[in-house]
Amino acid sequence: MSDVINVEEIFASKVFTRAMMKERLPKSIYKEVVSVMDKGGELSLEAADVVAKEMKDWAVENGATHYTHWFQPLTGITAEKHDSFVSHPDENGKMIMEFSGKELIKGEPDASSFPSGGLRATFEARGYTAWDITSPAFLKEDATGVILCIPTAFCSYKGEALDKKTPLLRSMEAISEQAVRIVRLFGNTGATKVVASVGPEQEYFLVDREKYLKRPDLIYAGRTLFGAPAPKGQEMEDHYFGTIRERIGAYMKDLNIELWKLGVTAKTQHNEVAPAQHELAPIYETANIAVDHNQLVMETMKKVAGRHGMTCLLHEKPFAGVNGSGKHNNWSLTTDNGVNLLDPGDTPNENIQFLLVLACMIKAVDIHADLLRQSASDVGNDHRLGANEAPPAIISIFLGEQLEDVVKQLVETGEAAHVLQGGKLATGVSTLPDFEKDATDRNRTSPFAFTGNKFEFRMVGSADSIASPNTILNAIVAEAFCEAADVLEKADDFELAVHDLIKKYLTDHQRIIFNGNGYAPEWVAEAERRGLPNIKSMVEAVDTLTTEKSVKLFEKFGIFTRAELESREEVLYETYAKSINIEALTMIDMASKQIIPAVIKYSRSLADTVIAVKEAGADASVTADLLQELSEKLSEMKAALARLKEVEKKAGTIADAKEQAFYYKDVVRKAMDELRAPADEAEMLVDKKVWPIPTYGDLIFEV
Ligand code: ADP
Ligand code: MG
């Protein structure tokens, strides 16, 4: 077998691409499909039938036996229910594989077991899946065979969104509509839509599968719940961008090939800061496709790891004391005639448009910092945000020196009004320097950074779907654009009005700009002085979804109804409670069945040693001391275990979802920490041969 990989040949070989449709569909049908893809609307049933048949034939030619409406329920991962193409045999017993337009466009999985946060009672369990025609169908191959996957939205009988895709698609329409109003003001009459583009950088850990299987905490919780630090951590900074080891290299190669086949533009790969940590970045694409593809990236990472005798950990904090994983969500807006709204450009005219866009973004992020924070929260991310390895939990914007200086000038000496009277935007605006990309250093501590021609939202958790952060980004910026357009469309003197508006927005919202070190304790105090929210945990972020300000925003643009928002709150509280409960039960299990027995066993051998040494007439005091120390840890563990059992039980009796989630956060998690501490100390005292689970050193240095 040749080792040459023909990327061009394999790329998207498992995707029913536009090119494939063009090749296979009658011209008129293809035109209809493209029109719906680009401009919206509904596919006629007649066209859908033709598309379905061609899609099915293509899938069957590629070995498919089943199809599925692939959707993204509120669990944050994807769901699928397979149906085969098998149909009723004819009178001769011959069976023809079938797939109709109706089946393509709409599905009805029973799906009553997905979290709906009260949107749907079991007796009205109907949930519908509807084809997202803008995200191409693809083939997934695993032990069940080849499955045709049709990316879909998932709604209730009454049309309420039960998934993450529907609100995202709604938000994309909202921002497109409002952004078009903005570019029109600047004379861009050719643009008919504006697309939000997203490029998510995905971090992950790889551990040896054999060792993983010996750690119930990794199996059930995806992170270690016990474990003393290894003698070496990441302090040597020798892993970041380090040479990729053979085993990992083989994995990355295989992963890339699988992703390329699925049409995912896996582009960059490197070792990350922590040992055993790596990163993959694709090339950016339309937001909803980027969201779908990020799900495929996460899924494929796990699948391919198995083939290489490893397990991929996507948890935000698999190991205490070493860096956790996140996702950098790169986001920008581009018109369908090719203008990136976040590109400072090099003509003054475009600079004004850019400055208005920038001012709107600053305003949006300041007003809705709480929502952005919420969109990046999940159970695992609580271990990272604000813990000096990831951005702080406080939202701020990093602009870089040059841009910050421009903003400062505009705010301070913005008396450009008198210059404007001269009919020229000469001062304060037109003499602005052309922004050089990367003119300033990177700021790795900022949660929201301007990086040349895009914003990079760096708070997102590694295991989380990126649907929510992008839905929120689109929504809040749409609102700011809408408010700006409302003013500017009515202005008698546009140039004066736009200048005033930029100055006003920047002045009113400059508190959100911060170029300094986000890890410094002074920033926390400074942010508080500025009145910026510091939401420390996931559960504290949940009710930002239903503040009056949020409901107004989402209802105005038809992105979420109040009921949909309330349902999401419910699901978030439940998810938090369930996750911590699993962690607590896992700890109880491991402590009771593995760690405490191991400590007792080792104590026994120490006791035997003490007796034997004494009998031999020698000094047994060192061993006796060790035994004593271990006994103390044992009793601490026993007490902490009893306490954890007690609070875990109590948690289960709390009926109110919010109250329960807070109890898990404030009480159960504390009890978990209190059990972990003596166990980790005991690990340092016990013979490694007796310790029942692989250690941190085994897990992260011996992959
Ligand atoms: P950085 O090194 O600044 O993180 P990269 O060029 O490596 O930037 O890109 C990181 C991610 O950002 C990639 O997924 C890339 O495709 C994406 N990206 C680049 N330009 C844009 C853009 N205009 N809009 C959205 N994402 C982008
Ligand atoms: Mg980056």
| In contact, 519 and 387? CB cutoff 8 Å | no
- CB within 8 A of 452, min separation 6: which ones? 437, 438
Give the tokens for residue 24.
């296979």
Please check whether residue 428 lies inside any domain of the structure: no
Q: Between 198 and 438, whose confidence is greater? A: 198
Residue 68 three-state SS: strand
CATH number at residue 36: 3.10.20.70
Total tally of structural domains belonging to the chain: 4
Report CA(127)–ligand 1 centroid distance (Å): 36
Pairwise CA distance, residues 656 & 573, whole Å? 10
Whether residues 380 and 471 share a domain: the answer is yes
Mean pLDDT, the chain, rounded, equals 91
Q: Report the nearest atom of ligand 1 relative to the CA of 334.
A: 23
pLDDT given at position 428: 41
Q: What are the b/e assignments for 573-610, b being 16+ CB within 10 Å?
A: bbbbbebbbebbbbbbebbeebbbebbeebbeebeebb
Could you say which ligand is closest to the alpha carbon of residue 454?
A: 1
Whether residues 522 and 493 share a domain: the answer is yes
Q: Report the nearest atom of ligand 1 relative to the CA of 284.
A: 16
Residue-wise DSSP of 393-428: SB--EE--HHHHHHHHHHHHS-TTHHHHHTT--III
Residue indicated by tokens 């998810």: 575
Please check whether residue 271 lies inside any domain of the structure: yes
pLDDT given at position 437: 43
Looking at the predicted structure, is the pLDDT value of residue 460 above 90? Answer: yes
Could you say which ligand is closest to the alpha carbon of residue 203?
A: 2
Q: Is 400 close to ligand 1, i.e. is its CB under 6 Å away?
A: no
Render pLDDT for 218-245 as a digit per residue (tens, 0 to 9).
Answer: 999 999 999 999 888 777 777 777 777 8
Please check whether residue 431 lies inside any domain of the structure: no
Pairwise CA distance, residues 457 & 450, whole Å? 9
Report CA(287)–ligand 1 centroid distance (Å): 13
Gyration radius of the chain's alpha carbons: 28
Q: How many CB atoms lie within 10 A of CB 267?
A: 14
Whether residues 373 and 488 share a domain: the answer is yes
Pairwise CA distance, residues 203 & 331, whole Å? 17
Q: Is 329 close to ligand 1, i.e. is its CB under 6 Å away?
A: no
State which of 172, 284, 343 you would mutate to test the pocket of ligand 1, scoring each by most atoms of that ligand within 8 A of its C-beta: 284
pLDDT given at position 243: 78
Residue 136 three-state SS: coil
Q: Report the nearest atom of ligand 1 relative to the CA of 268.
A: 7
Q: Is 241 close to ligand 1, i.e. is its CB under 6 Å away?
A: no
Render pLDDT for 73-122 as a digit per residue (tens, 0 to 9).
Answer: 888 889 888 899 988 888 888 888 889 999 999 887 766 677 887 776 54
Q: Is 454 close to ligand 1, i.e. is its CB under 6 Å away?
A: yes
C-alpha neighbours within 13 Å on the C-beta side of residue 54: 22
Q: Residue 273's pLDDT band (boundaries 50, 70, 90)?
A: confident
pLDDT given at position 120: 63
pLDDT given at position 25: 97
Q: Is 383 close to ligand 1, i.e. is its CB under 6 Å away?
A: no
Report CA(330)–ligand 1 centroid distance (Å): 6
C-alpha neighbours within 13 Å on the C-beta side of residue 422: 7
For the four alpha carbons of 560, 566, 567 and 573, in that order, the dihedral sign comes to positive
**Amino acid at the residue 189:** T
Render pLDDT for 381-410 as a digit per residue (tens, 0 to 9).
Answer: 999 997 777 788 999 999 987 788 778 888
Whether residues 348 and 247 share a domain: the answer is no
| In contact, 657 and 573? CB cutoff 8 Å | yes
| In contact, 324 and 304? CB cutoff 8 Å | no
Percent of the chain with pLDDT over 70: 93
| In contact, 137 and 149? CB cutoff 8 Å | yes
Whether residues 180 and 221 share a domain: the answer is no
DSSP single-letter state for residue 494 = H
DSSP single-letter state for residue 664 = I
Taking the chain, what is the end-to-end CA distance rounded to the nearest angstrom? Answer: 28
Report CA(442)–ligand 2 centroid distance (Å): 9
Q: Name the strand (E) or helix (H) holding 66.
A: strand 64-70
Least confident of 156-170, 191-205, 288-302, 548-562: 156-170
Determine the average pLDDT of the residues in 447-467: 95
Q: Is 127 close to ligand 1, i.e. is its CB under 6 Å away?
A: no
Backbone angles phi, psi at 578, to 5 degrees: -65, -45
What residue's CA is closest to ligand 1, atom 17?
199
Report CA(208)–ligand 2 centroid distance (Å): 27
Alpha carbon separation from 694 to 480, 600, 605 (Å, rounded): 52, 18, 21
Q: Name the strand (E) or helix (H) holding 32.
A: helix 27-39
Q: Is 283 close to ligand 1, i.e. is its CB under 6 Å away?
A: yes
Pairwise CA distance, residues 476 & 456, whole Å? 16
Q: Which of 281, 311, 326 is the last residue of a domain?
A: 326
**Amino acid at the residue 524:** V
- Work out the angle at residue 280's Cα, subtended by the Cα atoms of residues 307 and 258, and round it to the nearest 5 degrees: 40
Q: Is 285 close to ligand 1, i.e. is its CB under 6 Å away?
A: no
Whether residues 320 and 341 share a domain: the answer is no
Q: Residue 124's pLDDT band (boundaries 50, 70, 90)?
A: low
Q: Is 201 close to ligand 1, i.e. is its CB under 6 Å away?
A: yes
Count Cβ atoms within 10 A of the Cβ of residue 397 and give its class: 0-12 exposed, 13-18 middle, 19 or more buried: buried
Give the residues across from 282 on adjacent strands: 266
Report CA(201)–ligand 1 centroid distance (Å): 8
Report CA(444)–ligand 2 centroid distance (Å): 9
**Amino acid at the residue 399:** L
Q: Is 428 close to ligand 1, i.e. is its CB under 6 Å away?
A: no
CATH number at residue 206: 3.30.590.10
Q: Between 421 and 473, whose confidence is greater? A: 473
Whether residues 517 and 487 share a domain: the answer is yes
Report CA(458)–ligand 2 centroid distance (Å): 8
Could you say which ligand is closest to the alpha carbon of residue 460?
A: 2
CATH number at residue 607: 1.20.120.1560
| In contact, 193 and 174? CB cutoff 8 Å | no
Residue indicated by tokens 């304060």: 428
Query: Measuring CA to CA, which residue among 518, 215, 459 is closest to residue 325?
Result: 459
Whether residues 543 and 473 share a domain: the answer is yes
DSSP single-letter state for residue 593 = I
Report CA(454)–ligand 1 centroid distance (Å): 8
Report CA(267)–ligand 1 centroid distance (Å): 10
Could you say which ligand is closest to the alpha carbon of residue 452?
A: 1
Q: Report the nearest atom of ligand 1 relative to the CA of 340.
A: 23
Query: Measuring CA to CA, which residue among 150, 116, 117 is closest to residue 136?
Result: 150
pLDDT given at position 190: 95
Alpha carbon separation from 417 to 165, 186, 409, 411, 423 (Å, rounded): 45, 19, 13, 12, 10
Q: Residue 439's pLDDT band (boundaries 50, 70, 90)?
A: very low
DSSP single-letter state for residue 429 = I
Whether residues 157 and 290 share a domain: the answer is no
Q: Is 451 close to ligand 1, i.e. is its CB under 6 Å away?
A: yes
Q: Which of 291, 308, 326 is the last residue of a domain?
A: 326
Please check whether residue 15 lies inside any domain of the structure: yes
Q: Which of 490, 524, 556 is the last residue of a domain?
A: 556
Q: Is 453 close to ligand 1, i.e. is its CB under 6 Å away?
A: yes
Render pLDDT for 105-114 as a digit per residue (tens, 0 to 9).
Answer: 988 776 667 7
Report CA(284)–ligand 1 centroid distance (Å): 6
Please check whether residue 690 lies inside any domain of the structure: yes
Q: How many CB atoms lie within 10 A of CB 210?
A: 11
Determine the average pLDDT of the residues in 419-440: 38
Could you say which ligand is closest to the alpha carbon of residue 340?
A: 1
Please check whether residue 234 lies inside any domain of the structure: yes
Q: Is 458 close to ligand 1, i.e. is its CB under 6 Å away?
A: no
Maximum separation of any 2 CA atoms in the chain, in Å: 104
Whether residues 79 and 121 share a domain: the answer is yes
Report CA(164)–ligand 1 centroid distance (Å): 23
3-state secondary structure 265-330: CEEEEEECCCCCEEEEEECCEEHHHHHHHHHHHHHHHHHHHHHCCEEEECCCCCCCCCCCCEEEEE
Could you say which ligand is closest to the alpha carbon of residue 437?
A: 1
Whether residues 550 and 659 share a domain: the answer is no
Determine the average pLDDT of the residues in 640-651: 98
Report CA(559)–ligand 2 centroid distance (Å): 28
Report CA(449)–ligand 2 centroid distance (Å): 9
Determine the average pLDDT of the residues in 454-467: 96
State which of 201, 241, 265, 330 you would mutate to test the pocket of ligand 1, scoring each by most atoms of that ligand within 8 A of its C-beta: 330
Report CA(327)–ligand 2 centroid distance (Å): 9
Could you say which ligand is closest to the alpha carbon of residue 458?
A: 2
Pairwise CA distance, residues 8 & 471, whole Å? 32
Q: Is 282 close to ligand 1, i.e. is its CB under 6 Å away?
A: yes
Please check whether residue 409 lies inside any domain of the structure: no
**Amino acid at the residue 18:** R
Report CA(329)–ligand 2 centroid distance (Å): 8
Looking at the predicted structure, is the pLDDT value of residue 294 above 70? Answer: yes
Q: Between 520 and 378, whose confidence is greater? A: 378
What residue's CA is closest to ligand 1, atom 3?
451
Q: Report the nearest atom of ligand 1 relative to the CA of 199.
A: 14
What residue's CA is closest to ligand 1, atom 16?
283
Please check whether residue 458 lies inside any domain of the structure: no
Could you say which ligand is closest to the alpha carbon of residue 444?
A: 2
Whether residues 660 and 646 share a domain: the answer is yes
Q: Is 330 close to ligand 1, i.e. is its CB under 6 Å away?
A: yes
pLDDT given at position 116: 80
Q: Which domain holds residue 504?
A: 164-200+333-394+464-556
